[in-house]
Amino acid sequence: MACKRPSKGMKQECAPAPKATKKGAAKKGAAKKAPPTRAAPPRAKAAGTAGREAPRTRVPAAGAPAVGPGAPAPSFRLSDHEGKPVSSADLAGRLRVLFPRPRADAPGCPAETFAFREASAARRAAGTAVFGVSPDRPAGQARFRARHGVTFRLLCDADRALAEAYGVWKTKSTHGKIFLGVERSTLLVDASGVVRRAWRKVKAPGHADEVLAAAPA
């Protein structure tokens, strides 16, 4: 109530306070309580997408099919660890062993190279040419060869020409990652240039002895 200040000798008179209107009360209540937010309706699917599977990981294309026994060995021309050219034409009339590998210091590659180093001395004396092949550059091959006392030549297949021609450039998978790389392999090529034996997905222990035992005397 609103009261008027009384004059001397008169009682204080109070007037009733004005009532709040419905309109004012509504505004006051609206300020205190915000209306609930309405969720946006879901977006409509694009036409023609219903029932489609999620896109799959694209698998890279591998090289040529693997060269097997009885097939002519593809010709090649590469540089060795010293940068000197080596070609299949230079090796005509000689038995040769080619063992492509992912790279010189990849897991398993040193062990495989060491095994050929130990097992191939007698075969090289008999005229068998042994070559390790990897995408490494000449400088990297030379460091690896000097560090580990490798006695045969290492060939540099930086552009993957030999790997693709011999069918050892393959689709590989590691920890869910799909990529292209050199499949560890060994090829025994006879003096007439025909593949005599081929080993795929090679494991190093005992492999060099098996390869050289298969080489004709």
Does residue 153 contact residue 46 with C-beta atoms inside 8 Å?
no
Give a yes or no: residue 176 inside a domain.
Answer: yes
Beta strands in the chain (DSSP E): 2-4, 13-15, 77-80, 85-87, 96-100, 129-134, 153-156, 169-174, 177-182, 186-189, 195-199
Average pLDDT, the chain: 77
CATH number reported for the structural domain that contains residue 175 in this entry: 3.40.30.10
3-state secondary structure of 104: coil
Structure tokens at 46: 């694009």
Does some domain include residue 210? yes
For residue range 26-79, what is the model confidence (pLDDT) as tens digits? 455 545 555 555 555 555 444 444 444 444 434 444 556 788 999 999 999 999
* Single-letter code of the amino acid located at 107: P
How many structural domains is the chain composed of?
1
Which active-site residues does the annotation give?
109
Residue 209 pLDDT grade (very low, low, confident, very high; cuts 50, 70, 90): confident
Q: What is the DSSP letter of 75?
A: P
Q: Which domain holds residue 155?
A: 79-214
| Residue-wise DSSP of 203-215 | -STTHHHHHHHHS
Q: Which two tokens stand for residue 24?
A: 């004012």
Split at pLDDT 50, 70, 90, the class of 22 is low
Residue 110 is assigned to a structural domain of this protein? yes
Three-state SS for 66? coil
Does some domain include residue 181?
Answer: yes
